[in-house]
Amino acid sequence: SFMKQSPFIAADGCVGLQFFQSKMPMILASVEKKQIKLWGYKYDQQPKLTHRFHCKSEIIDFTISPITNFLYFLTEEGRMFIINKKGDFITNLDHQTEKFCSITYYEDMIYVGTFTGNLIVYPSSSMIQKELLDFPMKLKQSFNLSNSETKES
């Protein structure tokens, strides 16, 4: 069967799998800690490796936007990299004061969480920061105090 023979199932440190929005051949991204593999296949055929990217630092999260059909991935240094379904490098992105740690999309926006608890919103068409939603420090302190009180009791 397809699943038993598939070469991308035994990925090393798999972060996840996602399909690009495309017609035949279908394109699947297999994202591992240190590399990304793009696979092309038709329903009745074995997947074929079309591109492989090695990363110097570990990949911690990724998403594929159906609007742009780009794969956005984040590294442990808090940077974002963007590639398309053909395997072309589009750009990389970082923030002056924040380090990225999680990413998702909704409609035409890319939402990036940071290690400090903030949320940065980018329109997927331009990737120019639209908004920084700062998690209020008072709320952070209140949450930390209530957590420590709960643990002590």
**For the chain, how big is the Rg over CA atoms in Å?**
18
Residue 12 has pLDDT above 90, yes or no: no
Find out whether 77 and 63 touch, Cβ atoms under 8 Å: no
The stretch 110-128 carries a mean pLDDT of 88
The stretch 124-147 carries a mean pLDDT of 60
Amino acid 131: pLDDT: 62
The stretch 6-12 carries a mean pLDDT of 52
Percentage, residues of the chain above pLDDT 90: 46
Of the ranges 4-13, 112-121, 129-138, which is most confident? 112-121
In the sheet that 14-19 helps form, which strands lie side by side, from edge to edge? 14-19, 26-32, 35-41, 48-54
Amino acid 73: pLDDT: 97
DSSP 42: -
As a whole number of angstroms, the distance between CA 121 and CA 140 comes to 20
State pLDDT tens for residues 22-69.
777 789 999 999 999 999 987 777 888 999 999 999 999 999 998 899
User: Two tokens at 33?
Assistant: 């800690």
Q: Which residues contact 88 (CB under 8 A, 6 or more apart)?
A: none
Amino acid 4: pLDDT: 43
Q: Which of 5, 8, 9, 44 is nearest to 24 (CA)?
A: 44
The burial class, CB within 10 Å (0-12 / 13-18 / 19+), for 71 is buried
Amino acid 79: pLDDT: 95
Q: Which residues contact 55 (CB under 8 A, 6 or more apart)?
A: 34, 35, 36, 75
Residue at token pair 């440190």: 13
pLDDT bucket at 130, cuts 50 / 70 / 90: low
